[in-house]
Structure formats: C-alpha cells, structure tokens
Amino acid sequence: MRFSTKAIHVGEDPESMQHGDVVSPIHLSTTFAKRSIREVEEGYVYSRSGNPTRDALERKLAALENAEYGLAFSSGLAAESTILLALLKKGDHVIAFDDLYGGTKRLFNQVMERFGIEFTYVDAREPGNVRRAIRENTRMVWLETPTNPLLKLADIRAVAEIVHERDLIVVVDNTFASPYFQNPLDLGADIVLHSVTKYLGGHSDVVGGAVMVNDDEIYERLKFHQNAVGAILSPFDSWLVMRGIKTLAVRMERHEKNAMTIARYLEEHPMVERVYYPGLPSHPQHELAKRQMKGFGGMLSFELKGGLEEAIKFVESLEIFALAESLGGVESLIELPAIMTHASVPRDEREKVGIRDSLIRVSVGIEDVEDLIEDLERGFEAVRA
Ligand SMILES: *Cc1c(COP(=O)(O)O)cnc(C)c1O
C-alpha cells in the first residue's frame, strides 16, 4: 500500500467491528472484564498498559514511517522523556543538534542533566562535527531536521553511517517534515519521533507525541517505560489523531505549495533581509533537502530588516495569521522565536545558533495563498508607516 491508502485504512478494520464501523470507535473503558481467571492476563487488561483505540493509532503511526512499531504518547515531550529514560542511564552522553526545539533543550538541560546524563551540542549540518564529539560514554545522537526555527538540515544517512560504527542510537525528531515528506528510519535512523500536536493531528486541537521504531529490543524497552511512567495518549486524543492523519497527504501538499509561494514572495521583498526555507535554491542545503526529503514542508522563517521593534509591529498588524506558538495546523500562525518559542534559550546561545531578534517564524496554513500574501502586505505597510 502507498502512503495515503495506509493513512486512511491502517487501524480501521470494518470486518472486525461488531457493527461494521468504517471508523475505529473510541474505547473509553479503563478496564476490561474477563470471563475466567484463566484469561486475566490475556488481551486488554487496563487502559494505561493497552487500549484498542490507542493500538489502532499506533498501527497507523507505524505504517506512516514504514516502521514495525508505533507508540502514542501524551505529548511530544512525553515521548522524548520516555526515549531518554528507557535507553540511557547516569553517566551516559548524548550528542545533539545545536538548533533544537526550545522545549527539547529545556528537557535536556533542566531535567535530564540532573539525573547525570550529559549533552554536547554540535552544528550537525556538518556530519564531521558529530564524529568529533563522540566520547567513550556516548550512547545517543539526537537530530532534528529540518530544525526549528532556522530550517537547518542534518544528513541523516551520513550521520547514521558514522555513529553506527560505534553502535550509537540515532534519534530523529521528524515533526517539521512529517512522515509524508521524510522517513528517517529508511535513511538509517533507529528511532523517529513526532510531536503529533503539529502536522499529524493537523487541526490544533490535540496535544500528543509518537515514536516509531523497527528494533524489537528498543520497542520493548520503550513500551515498558511508557507504561511504567504512564506517558500514554488518551483514547479520545488517539481518535482525533487518527482522524487528522487521514488527510495528512492532501494537507501537506497544500502546506508546501503555499509555503513555496510565500517564500518566493518574501525573498523578493525589499524589506526582508533573509528567508529560510529548504525549498528555495538559495537555502545552503537545498541539494540535501532534495535528496533526503520528498518535499520541503510548510514551515519557513525570515528576518525583517530592522530589529525587534519592527518585527513586533509586523506580527501584531496581521489579521489572518494568528500570533501564536505551535505549528502544523490548517490555520496560518506567526511568531517571534526570540521572545516566544525560544525565550527559554539564553540569549548568547540563541545568537550563537543564529536566532536574531528580528527573526519571524511562520507556520503556513492551507488557506487561499492570495489572502495570506495580502495579510503579509499589511504587515509590511505597518512597519513602513
Ligand atoms: C512541538 C515540538 C515538540 C514538542 O512536542 P509537544 O507535543 O509540544 O510536547 C518537539 N519537537 C518539535 C520539533 C516540536 O515542534
């Protein structure tokens, strides 16, 4: 089966349903009755350890990343925490891309470091930087590609080849690309992670996380720890994510088409200093993007000429783009990383990776692109005034 067919059909199984439902029902029951003592360990027992709706979603998630296994978590960060807790111990070392989602850095630096896990941040655009950071106690390499908010890329295949010589685990946060545009496991990664809050859910109405893997042993450890710490997605939220995934392909096509049009418009604009979008030939890693991804996604960032004051004026004057964090929903969102999503990253660190005060991040929605461009015009006019 191909992508959209899997997205629509895996996990929905009319024949197995009592009434022939074409959509998986929401199983709210927290516990499952048995006919006899002999059966108490069989099938579903308690909803934290296993739930039919979550299972249906997990099969769908696995199918999207061509994976053996999927796991659905209560948030992207719950998924990340479980990966770290399940696979690492005190004294272990992780090499991470230096341009990560702000919440991921906070989890690493303010939570996991307290438990004796060490992190080194490198510019993973250059695979050699990952190689040079490997130590005796390195266990894991953590990539996000494209990164948030600067749309930097890591060459997943090249990094996986380097670190598999040492038997390290490669984790890829694939939230920005979505499984429609990039499949890290096929490129050699061991674990792929999504904030399903973003494109997979797609409608800004559910917070959740997902992990997909092929390795039996990694899966068993993640599954055990997910149940042990209780980081599961609820049945209702699982159902919402399944509903979202069915339209992922058509949404991603439109997100990308709109993003490409807006990126080109911004690049031509005299009041714009720079545009960051992997689909533009001016993007320094455009060739890698073409090789590694099946499309360039719906996220872009740009720097306005001027500083924070101009950027604030710009985002506050828009009427269609909502001034909001998050991304990946059908509606367009705009935000200032320096004072919103990445405010928890210290200024010097922010500047080192290239997040300036005038940087504006856009999650391009699937509205009519002419309306979006008219709205951006409004922003430029407000700055000019
Ligand atoms: C949002 C996000 C996360 C965190 O996911 P939550 O669902 O908010 O916990 C992780 N990585 C990336 C790239 C994200 O955009």
* Domains observed in the chain: 3-245 (3.40.640.10), 248-384 (3.90.1150.10)
Q: Which of 34, 44, 48, 215 is catalytic?
A: 48
Mention every residue, 6+ apart, whose C-beta is less than 8 A from residue 156: 143, 145, 170, 172, 184, 187, 188, 189, 292
Q: Calculate how far, in angstroms, residue 32's C-alpha sits from the geometric centre of ligand 1.
A: 33
pLDDT of residue 345: 80
Average pLDDT, the chain: 96
Answer yes or no: 198 catalytic: yes
pLDDT of residue 16: 77
Is the per-residue pLDDT at 148 higher than 90? no
pLDDT of residue 3: 98
**Closest atom, ligand 1, to C-alpha of 77:** 9
Answer yes or no: 48 catalytic: yes
Q: State the average pLDDT over residues 72-86.
A: 98
Answer yes or no: 173 catalytic: yes
Determine the residue of 171, 193, 198 to mutate for testing ligand 1's pocket, defined as the one with the most ligand atoms within 8 A of the Cβ atom. Answer: 198
Structure tokens at 34: 């048995």
Determine the residue of 152, 195, 204 to mutate for testing ligand 1's pocket, defined as the one with the most ligand atoms within 8 A of the Cβ atom. Answer: 195
Enumerate residues lining ligand 1, CB below 6 A: 75-77, 101, 103-104, 144, 148, 173, 175-176, 195, 197-198, 207, 209
Backbone angles phi, psi at 380, to 5 degrees: -65, -40
Q: Calculate how far, in angstroms, residue 228's C-alpha sits from the geometric centre of ligand 1.
A: 22
Is the per-residue pLDDT at 349 higher than 80? yes
Residue nearest to atom 2 of ligand 1 (CA): 195
H-run or E-run covering 192: strand 191-195
| Residue, of 346 and 4, whose pLDDT is higher | 4
Residue nearest to atom 4 of ligand 1 (CA): 76
Q: State the average pLDDT over residues 59-77.
A: 98
Nearest-10 Cα torsion for 73, 346, 156, 131: -120
Answer yes or no: 13 catalytic: no
**Closest atom, ligand 1, to C-alpha of 80:** 10
pLDDT of residue 282: 97
CB 380 within 8 Å of CB 330:
no
Is the per-residue pLDDT at 230 higher than 80? yes
User: What's the CA gap between 233 and 191, in Å, rounded?
Assistant: 19
Is the per-residue pLDDT at 280 higher than 90? yes
In tens, the pLDDT along 122-134 reads 999 999 999 999 9
Q: Calculate how far, in angstroms, residue 244's C-alpha sits from the geometric centre of ligand 1.
A: 17
CB 141 within 8 Å of CB 84:
no
- Give the rounded distance of the alpha carbon of 187 from its chain centre: 17
For the entire predicted model, the pTM comes to: 0.96
Determine the residue of 175, 299, 344 to mutate for testing ligand 1's pocket, defined as the one with the most ligand atoms within 8 A of the Cβ atom. Answer: 175
Determine the residue of 71, 77, 145, 361 to mutate for testing ligand 1's pocket, defined as the one with the most ligand atoms within 8 A of the Cβ atom. Answer: 77
Q: Please, which residues bridge with residue 69 across strands?
A: 213
Q: Which of 54, 105, 198, 254 is catalytic?
A: 198
Q: Calculate how far, in angstroms, residue 14's C-alpha sits from the geometric centre of ligand 1.
A: 33
pLDDT of residue 252: 98
User: What's the CA gap between 21 and 19, in Å, rounded?
Assistant: 6
| Residue, of 151 and 148, whose pLDDT is higher | 151
**Closest atom, ligand 1, to C-alpha of 197:** 7
pLDDT of residue 41: 86
Q: Calculate how far, in angstroms, residue 77's C-alpha sits from the geometric centre of ligand 1.
A: 6
